[in-house]
Each structure stands twice: as C-alpha cells, then as structure tokens.
Structure 1
Amino acid sequence: MLRVSNTLLANNMCRYIQNNLQRSAKTQEHSATGKTINRPSDNPSEISHLMAINATLMGNEQYLRNIQDGLGYLNQSDTALDTVGKTLQDAKVLALQGANDTLTQEDRQAIAEQIDKQIDALVDLANSSLGGKYLFAGTQNGMPPFMRKDDKIYYRGNTDLVQREILFGSSYAVVAPGVEDAGSANNGVFGKLTANTIEDPPGSGQIWTEVSGGPLDVLKNLRDQLRAGDTAGINAALGQLDTAHDEILTHRVAVGARTRHLEAVQEQLADQETKLKERLVDIQGADIAKLTIEAAENQLVHQASLMTAANLLNVSLLQYLK
C-alpha cells in the first residue's frame, strides 16, 4: 500500500499556495495597471501587434509636434507677409498724394521721408523671428538675415527653406522664401540675390550679399522719384507697387495652402491616434469588474488553503502512537 508522507503533503500544499499567490499577484497587477499585458510573457501571440501599435503612436506624436512647430512658423510668416502688404498699400496712398500736381516739392520731400521710414520698417519685417529663429533667413537662421547699409539691402542667410517632416518620408516647407537665387524664375518675398558682396564688419569673415528687386527696391524707387519731383516716375512707381503687392499676395496664398495642408494632416493623425488607442484597449485593456471578482475568489481560495494546510500538517508523535 502506497503511503503518503507528511513531506509530500507539505510540498504539495506549499506549491498550491504559491500558485494561488502568483495568480493573486498577477490579478492585482492587472487591476493596478489597467492592462492584461505588462510583459511579453503575458501574451506572446499579441505582443508583436502591441509593439507595432505603440511604435506607430510614438511616431505620430513626433509628427504632431513637428506639425505644431511648422504651424507656428507658417502663422508667423503669414502675419509678417500681411504687414508687408499693408505697408505697400500705405506707400501707395502716399504715392497717390505725391503724384498730385498741386503739391509743392517740399511736400513731396516730406512724403519721400515717410517712404524711407517704410523701407526701414520692411527691413525689420524681413528680420521677423520666432523663438530666436529668423523666418526669412532660410536654414541659416540664427542671426538677423537682412541689413540696410549705404541705402542698399544685404542678406547673409541662405535660400534653403526650413522644413518639417509631417509624415514618413514627407517633408514640407514651413516658411516663405526670403530671397531667391539670381537665376531663379521667381522672386523671394524681398527680392533676389546679386553677385555683389561685402564683408561686414570688415575682417569678421561675415559675407553679405546684395539683394535687388522686390518691395524694397520698389519703395526706394518711389522715394527717389518723390525727391526728384518726377510726376511721371511717381505714376510709374504706382504700377510697381501693385505688382509688388500681388507678389506678396502670391506668397501669402502659398503659406495659406501649406497651413491648410498641415492642419489636414494634423486632423488625420489625431483621428488615427484615437483609433489606435481604442485598439490598444481591445488588446490589453483589463476588465476591472472581472478582475475584482477574481481577486476576491483568489483570496477565499488562499484562506481555505491555509486552513486546510493547518489541519493536514498538524501532526505530532501522539497521533502516530494512536
């Protein structure tokens, strides 16, 4: 006859109690984290799917940050372009006044001085910044890119546009071009680069390139015509102001289109994030009500196991003598 020893009973009872404690610990962990998968061993078949979703969510979070940063650049650029357009409209009003034959040359000189101040205002707008980065300096945007010196406009940035990656492999410019290269078919917001350069300050190694065309040249021409009292030249400058204003409007339209694009992608990523998080809950979300019941059941089993163990293992020499 097979005899069941006390050692075997004790070992089996300890194993049962230990297993129950492990189940209780896992149930409490699931309840505390709200997740049924906290490590790969919890559900090996679903862990690869879970990791893929989390990787996508992390990537989308970075894209959303990039979009938010890009929208800041675009909104600030639009504000600067709007002010440039208003400055040109104000200059047109002054030009219409200056074209009036009833004005004296002294009056035109006064208007010319106002136009000259507007040139300074445009240079300030060309040096608009956001968070210490200058909008129209290209990617070399750590220092003010435009300078007025000896009545000429100089530039020390580059023509590479600041871009942000908003989807995998898709980067978009988030600023308008401050200037374009001399051979470009299009004008930048403030004109094109020329072949003329200066070093300022002398000996610093800082090279500035002269800028031509654009609204700054138009205002300088208008100012010179007012100073000269050339009514025909002033009328011609009016047409140039309209052309410059149309070019600024074209840049604003491009900025607006990019803004809408980024906002559309932002909405798409936000919607995708919601769906992915719902999928995460489906995969690893814990049923708290069910876990609460399981915890109570495990506690009852544990108490019963302890009581049973106490009775079974309560042996002494007198029981053997019986």
Structure 2
Amino acid sequence: MRVTQGMLTNNMLRNLSNSYGSLGKYMEQLSTGKKINRPSDDPVIAMKGMNYRTQVKNVEQYQRNIGEVHNWMDNTDSALDKVQKGLSRLRDLAVQGSNGTYEDGQRGSIASEVDQLKQHLVEIANTKVNNKYIFNGTGTTGTIDGAGDEQPPVTLDADGNVVTVPTNNGAVNIEVSNGSKIQANIDPTNLFSEDLFKDMEDFAAALRNGADTDALGAFIGTIDGHIDNNVNERADLGARQNRIELIENRVLEQEVTAKNMMSNNEDADMEKVIMNLTSQESVHRAALSSGSRVIQPTLLDFLR
C-alpha cells in the first residue's frame, strides 16, 4: 500500500484530535472533581450514581421526619410536665380544702384557684405546634363547626364550663426510616378526658357549697387517678423518645455510608487525574513535535 502525504496528515490530525479529547476530559474532571459529567461518559457509573443519590435523598428526608417527631415529642413532654405540676397543685389544694380548720371564705379562695388551674389545663390541651393541635389525635386541624370556624379540642361555654373534650385518639405515625414508623403523639382521651374537667368543676363547687371534709377528701384519690394517667402517658412518650434517638443514630450512620458510596462512585481521584493530565500533555507535545516534522517535507522542498 502506498502511503501518501495526505494519509500521514489525516492520521496526524485524527490522533491530535483524540489527544485534545483526552486533554479535555482530564481538564473537565480536574475542574469539576467528578469522574463523569454526562451519562454518555460512563452509563454504568451514571446509573449507580442515580441510585446512590436516591438513597441519600431518602436518608435526608428521614432526618427531616425525625426532626418533626422530635418537635412533636419535645413539645408534648413539656406540656405533660406542666400538666403534672398543675395536677400536683390541685392535689395540694384538695388536701388543704379537706382540712377542717379552713373557713368557707378560705375554701372559696381555693375554689377560685381550682378554676384557674382548669383554665390552665384547657390551654395546655389546646396546644398547637406548627399550627397543628398535638392533643387531638389525627384531627390536628381541630373540628369545624356549623359556621365553618375552627374549634380547638377543648371548648368552654360562657360560664367557663367545659363543653367538648378530645375524642380523636388516632395515632400520628411518621416514617423515620425505611419501613419504620413511630407515633409522634399521645392518646389525649386518656388525659384530657371529660372526667378530668368534670371532677375539677365538682371539686370547685364542693368547696363553694361548704361540703364536709370527708366529701372534699374523697377528691384526693380522684386527683391521684388523673395524676397516674398523666404519668403513664409521659412514660410511654419517654419510651418512644428513647427509641427515636436510637433510630436517629442509625439514620446518621446510613447517611455517612450512602454519601461515601456516592463519593466513591462519582468523585474523581484528583491525584490520578493530575498525573494523567500531566502525562497526556507530554504525549500531546510529542505528537505535535513529531507531526510537524512529518508533514513539513514536501516535493516542493526539493524543487527549489
């Protein structure tokens, strides 16, 4: 086969073009820090990268969900702590009221404080977090009355008597890891029940009506029952708080693992890229030098 000058020139230009392509690839890897910058560079790495990115996004969403659970549980625990203090004070008032040394005027003052404690518990029962009622089961937006207005879980009439109490005890479950959901709320019907507010109203009425010490003393055991309900709900909440902390630690580890896998799949080895770029630059310079010597001599150079 006869090798012509055109063949040498075309081969040299083609090889130089390939060399420029290699230089461009290494320069792009060096500037972006990624092995590939488009799926056509390496379809296998691109497909794996999509899976790893999906995994990382899922873990990040679980972390946001865990934050929401923490928000619910922390606010619930704080509210239950205030309920505990209110009920403890109510018990102290029951002990005082059942003391035979108290006069009717003093018992009237105790009844006024009982009314204030009832108002305090009503406010706690209507606690909202992120504009959602946390003590109304799955009915976090409250109830809508006939006029289309939003009604809280606990409502009062004009005389300050409790009219409605929470009736929705549905569990608000939030997914915190793959296939794992945790309840973020408590059962409000066990705590803010109709019996609780009725007992407080009856206690205040007994204090004002001059009931005997035995009748007032009977409220102590009743209040103890409500205190036990609060303690039980708070204990159950604490157990779930401990569980969510364990899940959070596991999700954090999953995030580190997923990001490492994504990095190993996509990120370029910068030391290797620099070495390849330096080596390719040397090859390219050699190709340019040899090419200039090959195509320089022509027939016209010998006809002068």
The question of 1:290 aligning with 2:272 is answered yes
User: What 5-or-longer segments of structure 1 have no aligned partner?
Assistant: 180-186, 192-211
The question of 1:220 aligning with 2:228 is answered no
Shift of 1:223: 1.1
Following the alignment from structure 1 to structure 2, what is the Cα–Cα distance between the partners of residues 32 and 264?
40
Mapping of residues 145-294 of structure 1, within 5 Å: 145-149=153-157, 150=159, 151-155=161-165, 158-179=168-189, 187=190, 189-191=191-193, 212-213=194-195, 215-230=196-211, 231-294=213-276
In the alignment, is the contact (CA less than 8 A) between 1:123 and 1:146 conserved in 2? yes
Shift of 1:103: 0.9
In the alignment, is the contact (CA less than 8 A) between 1:163 and 1:171 conserved in 2? yes
Residue 73 of structure 2 aligns to a residue whose secondary structure is: helix
Shift of 1:254: 1.2
Q: TM-score, normalised by structure 1?
A: 0.83
In the alignment, is the contact (CA less than 8 A) between 1:35 and 1:286 conserved in 2? yes
Task: Letter of the 2:120 partner, please give it.
Answer: A
In the alignment, is the contact (CA less than 8 A) between 1:115 and 1:219 conserved in 2? yes
Following the alignment from structure 1 to structure 2, what is the Cα–Cα distance between the partners of residues 8 and 85?
94
1:106-161 Cα shifts (integer Å, max 9, x gaps): 11011001100111111100111112111112233235322111412314773323
2:9 is matched with 10
Following the alignment from structure 1 to structure 2, what is the Cα–Cα distance between the partners of residues 218 and 21?
87
Residue 66 of structure 1 aligns to a residue whose secondary structure is: helix
1:135 is matched with 134
In the alignment, is the contact (CA less than 8 A) between 1:221 and 1:237 conserved in 2? no
Hey, which of these two has a bigger chunk of helix by percent? 2
Q: CA RMSD in A?
A: 2.2
Following the alignment from structure 2 to structure 1, what is the Cα–Cα distance between the partners of residues 89 and 248?
37
Following the alignment from structure 1 to structure 2, what is the Cα–Cα distance between the partners of residues 110 and 287?
78
In the alignment, is the contact (CA less than 8 A) between 2:135 and 2:166 conserved in 1? no
Following the alignment from structure 1 to structure 2, what is the Cα–Cα distance between the partners of residues 298 and 120?
80
User: What 5-or-longer segments of structure 2 have no aligned partner?
Assistant: 143-151
Task: Letter of the 2:103 partner, please give it.
Answer: T
In the alignment, is the contact (CA less than 8 A) between 1:218 and 1:244 conserved in 2? no
Mapping of residues 47-58 of structure 1, within 5 Å: 47-58=46-57
Shift of 1:316: 5.5
Q: How many equivalent residue pairs?
A: 292
1:83 is matched with 82
Following the alignment from structure 2 to structure 1, what is the Cα–Cα distance between the partners of residues 199 and 9?
99
Shift of 1:277: 2.4
Following the alignment from structure 1 to structure 2, what is the Cα–Cα distance between the partners of residues 154 and 287?
66
1:94 is matched with 93
2:301 is matched with 319
Residue 218 of structure 1 aligns to a residue whose secondary structure is: helix
Task: Letter of the 2:81 partner, please give it.
Answer: D
Shift of 1:49: 4.1
Task: Letter of the 1:309 partner, please give it.
Answer: G
Following the alignment from structure 1 to structure 2, what is the Cα–Cα distance between the partners of residues 310 and 37?
33
1:183 is matched with none
Following the alignment from structure 1 to structure 2, what is the Cα–Cα distance between the partners of residues 216 and 14?
92
Following the alignment from structure 2 to structure 1, what is the Cα–Cα distance between the partners of residues 167 and 93?
32
